[in-house]
Chains A and B, each alone.
Chain A
């Protein structure tokens, strides 16, 4: 190929030269070039190496269907593999490399695999590694996996960067009346018609400018200008990659991929979710190749591509050009090429071709059977049709071979909406059928080939989208019908004909798949990997189907077509995550005392979406030293813990008590005002859902608390019960989690500390506020709040609630009082130690597989009333006494420790899943040694006198343990009373 840049024509800006790097060398292009056009202008022909055989590959197209010029762009963290050079706009400083080749794309050592091509046929993996010595001997071993690593490295695409993506991406949302995808003649006219009817229109174009095929025509600017002035929202460099339910389209807009030094405030790409009332698909058609010997050589490309390179980029791709065509579309290109100074010969497969344009030689009934020339086509072998069989008919010298095997309408997006394309024998392509949804195909996406008819079809689609009746133009438009040619093979030859060049799938592979019994098109696809490369079969699918049909002796429609799935073209993962990365991956919830806690030196940890104090280290303390000190201080004097993240739900209304009575396993109707009760709620299936205390504030008013992690779930559940099942109950539930700042003050001195902060210290004497009492309180500064005498730690303890904004002031009042008596602030780790000592359950124990009996709380299930989950918790399997039950765990040697997650096994049978598991472990300051909590089959009684071992083979040695009651400290609960 001897491509050259012409001194005039084209849409490039000759006043703005651009320099870029290709394989380390600096080259020049112009603004308006693509990487492909710039490389072509620089005489670069071999731009990549093929997937399996490492064959040299060059530019095959001028668009998204590119299968040859697939390169890596960018450096470092911004290196992106598998970029189509035909779609990459050139910018100053762009750095690109060929891929899948060593040392370079021109001289690639890996090309040796080409000589062993027969070993790399369809199903190569399965056959070699399952059935071919010596490879199969390694089957199932580590060695076997090694082969795969080596093969994967040899075969394959470019390498992705291992660094963190440095770019940002945005998510955008939009609504419109009519979404038009594609801005060729059909799309432009459709958008204009809809806009002129007063509709809100979004027009999407994947290219950098509007126009599509009209950019080949200098007169087309009128229509583009009209569209630009019609108040249409225009998104260029934007691909509609998927159509979804309810008129939703997914778009990706490439904001800075074409810029050398983009504004740092701009996102690299934007992910648009567009909801459209109607969608018009004017997505065009892609030109197919023909499978013949060497159809993948550099210097072989589609006919339309040569026209685009000429008219948009002012590049004459060859001087001595052979065109092999099956249809009329090549003739316009031939005229343009001759006008630009090339010598053109058309081999037309049809016996009655159209009139030859001026200066073009046409040979009827002929096509190409072989392209010759390793790094660029030098000559082609011509084949002549004799009674339906191709025979050798001489050789033609050339420097460029253009091929048109026909056109395939881009029906991908329609296919996403369940439109099944139907084969049209006359046009030799799949055409979309009518959708049951307001989705309309227009232009060559509907098989309409002429400019005028495309425009008309766009108008009709717009009218239909507006709800009017209109007759669409008939598909087609060529003067002489197409004569489909899918593969050219001369008798008694064994050519290597590429069906899917990107995955190196040949015609023989398709036939082999058939021979081996793969007759379904879906199986054919998976076995040969036809259509599974980054182009998703844009080039090869139809040829593959046609060859399969031939092998089966049926027509194409009998073979069927594969459904297309999103995305239409590859989409960077980053654009889906958008800004939801790093710290923004999920929302962060802070308690009202967040800053106060931090100021006191709290180390924070995640609890669901919340950040909660984990521990408050003093100088030089490790986490272990800190939490043991904190837990010990709570038992000895007093500790203060921020519990604002607990879920809080106001349950109000005349039937509030009855509602709670149904939701909780224990009774709530008789709970007096001013009292709290610990409750457990089950799911319908009888498993424990959540636990917490509920406070009766008034006759018709309760405050329910939930665990931090289940707060949202419980809220949804209560709303579901009230709205879908018990709509006769007069109850309203409101989430008030964020309204209250909550603190737990626990320890023998807790009453003194709180009392010193209250307007009336006598409000919380043991008589005024006995265990489980609830009362309104007033702080010294006048703040009104609530206090409940409840204990998670097992100590005398209070929970004090004030309106959220008063949280820090409450801490400012409480903390000096606690500090003065040797108290401490404590975090989640100490909270955990205290509750494990008491055998109180949390999320680790209530993991959704646990019944109320398993958790040792069976006595909380009322026998006097029915409640949610009551019926199904009585299933026989859930009543078995040998189910895993909550236990405490001591190491036999009190100096040893074990981990949460360890399995509990009978010491003489340490295999399988064991007899139980450890849910949590801690140092117990109260007991002076390591303790744990967990589940074991049959509970403590079943293991009296038995030897049990905690095994945790990936983390340490087995530890012999003792199974004890879960209530390891103060089992009678004397400390929290009084």
Chain B
């Protein structure tokens, strides 16, 4: 069981979360060319090691999180809100 330290709810089992995907992808503008969208949607690194990924605390606060995790050992290094504004506000509070 991967344990994820949700910034809003605390340390929880991964079974409370919904896995999103590669969190390093920057999605292009909606009117960007098909080729750019192709690369963003279909090309993945399949990293062995540290990876930034998105998870949603779907059975908790429903916040989308950016999780830095080792895909090999499942060690979790950091968990932050995916929403930049909320992440910033949370940081300012701490």
Contact = CB atoms under 8 A, between A and B. Distances in A.
B3 A719 contact: no
B31 interface: yes
Interface in A407-459: 418, 436
Contact of B34 (A247, A436, A662, A871): A871
A244 interface: yes
A955 interface: no
B34 A874 contact: yes
A872 B37 contact: yes
B74 to A, nearest CB: 4
A418 B3 CA distance: 17
Contacts of B9: none
Contact of A273 (B1, B38, B42): B1
A246 B30 contact: no
Interface in A766-801: none
A245 B30 contact: no
Contacts of B84: 727
* Residue in B1, B54, B58, B86 whose Cβ sees the most chain A Cβ within 10 Å: B1
Contacts of A86: none
Contacts of A866: 29-31
Interface string B38-69: 10111000000000001010100011100000
A870 B30 contact: yes
Contact of A275 (B1, B31, B54): B1
Nearest to A685: B41
Nearest to A715: B62
Given A246-B3, A727-B83, A727-B84, A871 B32 contact: yes
Interface string A686-726: 00000000000000000000000000000010011011110
Contacts of B1: 244-246, 248, 273, 275
Contact of A867 (B20, B30, B63): B30
Interface residues of B, number: 36
A423 to B, nearest CB: 24
Contact of A724 (B31, B38, B64, B76): B64
A868 interface: yes
B37 A871 contact: yes
Given A716-B58, A727-B84, A684 B37 contact: yes
B82 interface: yes
Q: How large is the interface on A (under 10, 10 to 19, 20 to 34, 35 or more residues)?
A: 20 to 34
Contacts of B58: 716
Interface string A875-919: 100000000000000000000000000000000000000000000
Interface string A222-246: 0000000000000000000000111
A725 B84 CA distance: 10
Contacts of A684: 27, 37, 40-41
Nearest to B31: A866
A417 to B, nearest CB: 10
B36 A871 contact: yes
A245 B18 CA distance: 17
A719 B85 CA distance: 15
Which of A246, A275, A720 is packed against the most chain B CB atoms within 10 Å?
A246
B87 to A, nearest CB: 9
A662 B30 contact: yes
B2 interface: yes
B66 to A, nearest CB: 8
B2 A723 contact: no
B94 interface: no
Contact of B83 (A246, A662, A723): A723
A867 B31 CA distance: 8
Contacts of A871: 28, 30-34, 36-37
Interface in B1-21: 1-3, 13, 18, 20
Contacts of B13: 248, 273, 275
Contacts of B82: 723-724, 727
A716 B56 contact: yes
Nearest to B82: A724
A803 B27 CA distance: 39
B51 to A, nearest CB: 15
Contacts of B81: 723
A872 B54 contact: no
Contacts of B62: 719
A436 B73 contact: yes
A246 B33 contact: no
A245 B54 contact: no
- Of the listed residues A436, A720, A866, A874, the one surrounded by the most CB atoms of chain B closer than 10 A to its CB is A720
A716 B27 CA distance: 17
B63 A245 contact: no
Contacts of B30: 662, 866-868, 870-871
B3 A723 contact: no
A589 B71 CA distance: 36
Contacts of B28: 871
Contact of B3 (A245, A685, A870, A874): A245
A870 B83 CA distance: 24
A244 B2 CA distance: 8
Nearest to B76: A246
Given A716-B56, A868-B30, A247 B3 contact: yes
A885 B13 CA distance: 44
Contacts of B64: 719-720, 723-724
A724 B28 CA distance: 13
A246 B11 CA distance: 10
Given A247-B3, A662-B30, A724-B64, A872 B41 contact: yes
Contacts of A273: 1, 13
A724 B83 contact: yes
Nearest to B64: A723
Contact of A246 (B2, B27, B63, B85): B2
B68 to A, nearest CB: 15
Contacts of A418: 73
Most buried by B among A719, A727, A871, A875: A871
A632 to B, nearest CB: 43
Nearest to B29: A866
Contacts of A722: 83
A866 B42 CA distance: 20
Contact of A725 (B27, B33, B36): B27
A723 B38 CA distance: 22
Contacts of A725: 27
Contacts of B73: 418, 436
Nearest to B63: A723
A245 B74 contact: yes
B54 A724 contact: yes
A725 B74 CA distance: 26
A554 B36 CA distance: 55
A872 B81 CA distance: 28
Contacts of B33: 871
Closest 8 CB pairs of A and B: A246-B3, A866-B30, A866-B31, A248-B1, A871-B37, A723-B64, A245-B74, A723-B83
Interface of A: 244-248, 273, 275, 418, 436, 662, 684-685, 716, 719-720, 722-725, 727, 866-868, 870-872, 874-875
Interface of B: 1-3, 13, 18, 20, 23, 27-34, 36-38, 40-42, 54, 56, 58, 62-64, 73-74, 76, 81-86
12 contacts: A245-B1, A245-B2, A246-B74, A273-B13, A684-B37, A684-B41, A716-B58, A720-B54, A720-B64, A727-B82, A871-B31, A872-B37
